[in-house]
Amino acid sequence: MRFETDFQMKVRDALAARDEPEAQHLLASVYWSMLVSLFAIIVAASVAYGLWEFVWAPADDEMIVSARPQAAFTRTELQKTLQGFDERQERFDERMVAPVSVKDPSK
């Protein structure tokens, strides 16, 4: 049993005689219809994904239990960190004033 429609037979005949202008017209319209359909599917999929991402995803984030925020620096930790930065700045300044002399390896 064959389930061929009149349209399928016309397309098959148009493919067989694709050099004729009438066949090219039919093939062009089929091609254009396929492109428009593909574009519509892509747009629908993009809209569906956008709705899923922006509507349902934030609801999932609300269910996540977050940990307590970490305690801020204590004054002693902050002073140690700032002192370390000051020492680093001093070492940098010393090396900029008296750069290390390196012998030329090509000689």
Q: Which of 5-9, 32-36, 78-82 has the lowest mean pLDDT?
A: 5-9
Q: Is residue 107 part of a domain?
A: no
| Residue 105 falls inside a structural domain | no
Instruction: With a cut of 60, say whether residue 1 has pLDDT above it.
Output: no
pLDDT tens-place string over residues 51-107: 888 877 666 556 666 667 777 778 899 999 999 999 999 999 988 888 778 888 887
Is residue 104 in a domain?
no
Dihedrals φ, ψ of 19, to 5°?
A: -85, -15
Checking if the pLDDT of 3 tops 70, the result is no
Is residue 102 in a domain? no
Is 49 within a domain?
A: yes
**Which pLDDT value is given to residue 33?**
93
In a domain, 57, yes or no: yes
Token readout for 76 is 């002693």
Say if 87 falls within a structural domain.
yes
Residue 91's pLDDT is 93
At residue 85, the pLDDT reads: 96
Residue 1 included in any domain: no
Mean pLDDT of 32-49: 96
**Full domain range(s) for residue 20:** 6-63+71-97
Number of domains in the chain: 1
Does the pTM of the predicted model rise above 0.85?
A: no
